[in-house]
Structure 1
Amino acid sequence: MAYRVLVVDDSTFFRRRVKEILDQDPNLTVVGEARNGEQAITQVAELKPDVVTMDVEMPVMDGITAVRQIMAKTPVPILMFSSLTHDGAEATLDALDAGALDFLPKKFEDIAGNRKEAIDLLQSRVKALGRRKGAMLSPRPTIARTSPGTTAQTKQFLRPSRSLNEATGASSAPERTFSRPGTSSGKQYKVLAIGTSTGGPVALQTILTAFPANFPYPILLVQHMPGTFTHAFAERLNRGCQIDVKEAQHGDILRPGHAYLAPGGKQMVVDGSAQMPRLSIVDGDNLPNVTYKPSVDLTFTSIARVFGGDVLGVILTGMGADGREGCRALHSKGAKIWAQDEKTCVVYGMPQAVTSARLAEKNLPLSEIASHICSEMRAS
């Protein structure tokens, strides 16, 4: 069955371009087009699409307002198109807060290195969101200190997606679930590392805003995101969190209660020693077998070299398998690895890759991850 898509943009040329790309995939069908947010609201109600692609800046009604109203009235997975500017980053983050689940740069040459790669990426993102449409989950418990912009309707889309075993080459493994946190295991820690991609901005916001100001360890964050977005995202997280959050810079010395977000388009590597760890920010253009910038695998592997097993690694929602090999390196040193569960992932790719490789000790719903981390790492 093909996923039905509504394309929303004030540019006739861009709507035609997106339609041509999506219609090339037999599993995607564009069922309607809208020139502004007001038309989008009407057509979502009438056409009941599986996915909406949405521009940010439009006449009559902008995309952010439209997302907010759609999610309040007729929730549907929404993919935003945005410009790679600071203002574009802020607007996209506002759209994610309003309920959109994912975003891509509006200039296709910014999406990927060539046309075929860009086409494949757009098609795969839309299909991934299409799998969010269907049976709705019952409302989840309220998450402490959740951003006021994160809607209950957004959380309704956090439910199972199709298996990625074929894509990752991993064997199927039963997902383990655990009760609410209790006492710490008593393990020694020196750092918390979190990797994520699609759906990550909301997931990271949910977790980090629940941490106390005196969180006892440094936190390293790797989120697949364009370079112009990570600074704005770090600033937004810092405004909403009790801990300090910043975009990582070359030479940063890791400090407890501080979170360091890998800059987009670069690689974040931990150097030095466990007693004096510092960050190196490099281009990493010539690194073999590294697809993403930033790469969870690369950062996590460097963490394993410096901190050994004194690490709690967490893999959150995201497409693909980035993080699996980094978690393998950590796991081999004795680190603990946790993964977000399938039901609360926007895309169950990265967590499934880690779980199927039998590296994850726990599979946790998003609403419980922060409390489990705080209990395990004795943060209060």
Structure 2
Amino acid sequence: MHSGRVRVLVVDDSLVMRSLLRIVLASDPAIELAGMAADGLSALDAVERLKPDLVLLDIEMPRMNGLEMLTQLRQRRHPVKVIMCSTLTRRGAAITLEALARGANDYVAKPTAQHGTADAVASLTRELLPRVRALFTSGHSTAVRPQIGSRPGAVTMVVIGVSTGGPAALETFLPQLPADFPVPVVIAQHMPRLFTSLLAERLDRVCHLKVCEAMAGERIAAGHIYLAQGDQHLQLTRAAFRHGLVFRMLPPVPGDFCRPSVDLLFRSAAEVCGEGVAGVVLTGMGTDGVQGCRAICASGGQVIVQDPETSAVWGMPGAVAEAGLAHRILPLHTMAAELVRMCMPSSAFAVKKASA
């Protein structure tokens, strides 16, 4: 954990929300409330005066909104970490995704108006505090087991698991895949339903491949990147009356905090694709993906994970590496070229040269 207590500045024009966040932050002895502000303009001054480690940032505020404040912080190269506090509306989700692209580290959904005070505090405690801890926990492990040897083989399916820091990582990584990338790509990104549909739209605008949300019963095709729908689990299964693979959707059950599940997606890919699976674990907190990567390795597939230096949080990729399940640990900017090398050996040199 970050040395000393994590000092947090709360920026929100709602007195109710500021009060809720005060209660939640006070419940963790590793966190200190550094101050509060009701708009982005006064918050910029507070950042300079108080030197917080973290800003909890509302989106809609008078004088200067959260997106404008975040832009100012990043233009000034201020090192403070930022978690956006977002409403679960289409507009709130769209602005939050833009904030993540502009340098916000993570986001948390605000409680809805239907929540009572106790429920709102419980929801924020469950969603916010682990994110704060993850952002201030060192991602550099000293106990990473040696990488296992690469197993050459024809890759027929790429599956990706990602969480905290995922939207920005995906917007960097996926546009580097060429238009003739020959195998399907399926992604489990921990996000609510509304966010994943908007993320698919954003990615589709910048990628050479078609990006869309996966639909139940849809046949999986090369030339596509499929994003699992938020709050649903996604599996790959063989089509009943025709050749090929299709998607199967599973509703979450109480206690499923990783939605969609990377483990479930990866295990299903290993089952139906065997040694043809390439599993990719990008930035994210927690350990979702370890069991799925174990299944991929057991089936003869390959696993690559993002390195700690380029990960927002080296939880998920670090857990896979520490379990000895990673064939390669790579920085984000080289991962697309590595996938091209695995899937299109004759094109690898051109892609590496273009990305150099």
Instruction: Mark yes or no: TM-score above 0.5.
Output: yes
**DSSP 3-state at the match of 1:342:** coil
Deviation at 1:75, TM superposition (A): 2.9
Letter in 2 for 1:43: A
State the alpha-carbon separation in 1 of the partners of residues 146 and 49 from structure 2.
Answer: 38
Deviation at 1:176, TM superposition (A): 5.8
State the alpha-carbon separation in 2 of the partners of residues 257 and 191 from structure 1.
Answer: 11
Deviation at 1:120, TM superposition (A): 3.9
Alignment of 1:152-167 (within 5 A): 160-161=138-139
Identity value in percent: 39
Q: Deviations over 1:141-176 (max 9, x none)?
A: xxxxxxxxxxxxxxxxxxx5365x9xxxxxx32466
Deviation at 1:121, TM superposition (A): 3.2
State the alpha-carbon separation in 1 of the partners of residues 292 and 151 from structure 2.
Answer: 23
Deviation at 1:91, TM superposition (A): 0.5
State whether residues 3 and 27 of structure 1, in contact with CA within 8 Å, keep that contact through their aligned partners in structure 2. Answer: yes
Letter in 1 for 2:236: V
State the alpha-carbon separation in 1 of the partners of residues 119 and 340 from structure 2.
Answer: 41
Counterpart in the other structure of 2:107: 103
2:178 matches 1:212: yes
2:244 matches 1:276: yes
CA distance change for structure 1 residues 130 and 96 in 2, over 3 Å: closer, same or farther?
A: same
2:194 matches 1:191: no
Counterpart in the other structure of 1:374: 340
1:17 to 15, 20, 32: 20
State whether residues 50 and 130 of structure 1, in contact with CA within 8 Å, keep that contact through their aligned partners in structure 2. Answer: no
1:226 to 163, 186, 192: 192
Counterpart in the other structure of 2:261: 295
State the alpha-carbon separation in 2 of the partners of residues 192 and 296 from structure 1.
Answer: 13
Deviation at 1:209, TM superposition (A): 0.8
State whether residues 23 and 121 of structure 2, in contact with CA within 8 Å, keep that contact through their aligned partners in structure 1. Answer: no
State the alpha-carbon separation in 2 of the partners of residues 121 and 101 from structure 1.
Answer: 14
Letter in 2 for 1:122: L
State the alpha-carbon separation in 2 of the partners of residues 291 and 23 from structure 1.
Answer: 23
1:43 to 27, 43, 46: 46
Counterpart in the other structure of 1:345: 311
State the alpha-carbon separation in 1 of the partners of residues 172 and 26 from structure 2.
Answer: 35
State the alpha-carbon separation in 2 of the partners of residues 352 and 91 from structure 1.
Answer: 30
CA distance change for structure 1 residues 207 and 281 in 2, over 3 Å: closer, same or farther?
A: same
CA distance change for structure 1 residues 291 and 124 in 2, over 3 Å: closer, same or farther?
A: closer
**DSSP 3-state at the match of 1:92:** helix
Q: Deviations over 1:36-93 (max 9, x none)?
A: 1111111111111111000011110110010010112123110001111111110101
Counterpart in the other structure of 1:326: 292
Letter in 1 for 2:139: S
State the alpha-carbon separation in 1 of the partners of residues 199 and 271 from structure 2.
Answer: 28
CA distance change for structure 1 residues 82 and 117 in 2, over 3 Å: closer, same or farther?
A: closer
Q: CA RMSD in A?
A: 2.5
CA distance change for structure 1 residues 93 and 175 in 2, over 3 Å: closer, same or farther?
A: farther
CA distance change for structure 1 residues 202 and 16 in 2, over 3 Å: closer, same or farther?
A: same
State the alpha-carbon separation in 2 of the partners of residues 370 and 70 from structure 1.
Answer: 30
State the alpha-carbon separation in 1 of the partners of residues 335 and 42 from structure 2.
Answer: 39
CA distance change for structure 1 residues 235 and 175 in 2, over 3 Å: closer, same or farther?
A: farther
Counterpart in the other structure of 2:273: 307
Deviation at 1:220, TM superposition (A): 0.5
Counterpart in the other structure of 2:201: 235
Counterpart in the other structure of 1:137: none
CA distance change for structure 1 residues 33 and 350 in 2, over 3 Å: closer, same or farther?
A: same
TM-score of the two chains, using structure 1 as the length reference:
0.83
Q: Deviations over 1:320-361 (max 9, x none)?
A: 100000111111000000111111111111011111111001
Counterpart in the other structure of 1:75: 79
Counterpart in the other structure of 1:29: 32
Gaps of 5+ in 1: 132-159, 166-171, 179-183
State whether residues 24 and 124 of structure 2, in contact with CA within 8 Å, keep that contact through their aligned partners in structure 1. Answer: no
**DSSP 3-state at the match of 2:183:** coil
State whether residues 177 and 364 of structure 1, in contact with CA within 8 Å, keep that contact through their aligned partners in structure 2. Answer: no
2:201 matches 1:201: no
1:122 to 117, 121, 128: 128
State whether residues 89 and 194 of structure 2, in contact with CA within 8 Å, keep that contact through their aligned partners in structure 1. Answer: yes
1:173 to 117, 132, 144: 144
List structure 1 runs of 4+ shifted beyond 6 angstroms. Answer: none
Q: Deviations over 1:187-214 (max 9, x none)?
A: 2111111001001111111110111111
CA distance change for structure 1 residues 187 and 252 in 2, over 3 Å: closer, same or farther?
A: same
State the alpha-carbon separation in 1 of the partners of residues 25 and 140 from structure 2.
Answer: 20
CA distance change for structure 1 residues 177 and 89 in 2, over 3 Å: closer, same or farther?
A: farther
Deviation at 1:14, TM superposition (A): 0.8
State the alpha-carbon separation in 1 of the partners of residues 38 and 123 from structure 2.
Answer: 27
**DSSP 3-state at the match of 1:195:** strand
Letter in 2 for 1:124: P
TM-score of the two chains, using structure 2 as the length reference:
0.89
1:251 to 217, 220, 223: 217
- Say which is worse superposed, 185-194 or 82-91, in terms of deviation: 185-194
State the alpha-carbon separation in 1 of the partners of residues 154 and 327 from structure 2.
Answer: 16
Counterpart in the other structure of 1:285: 253
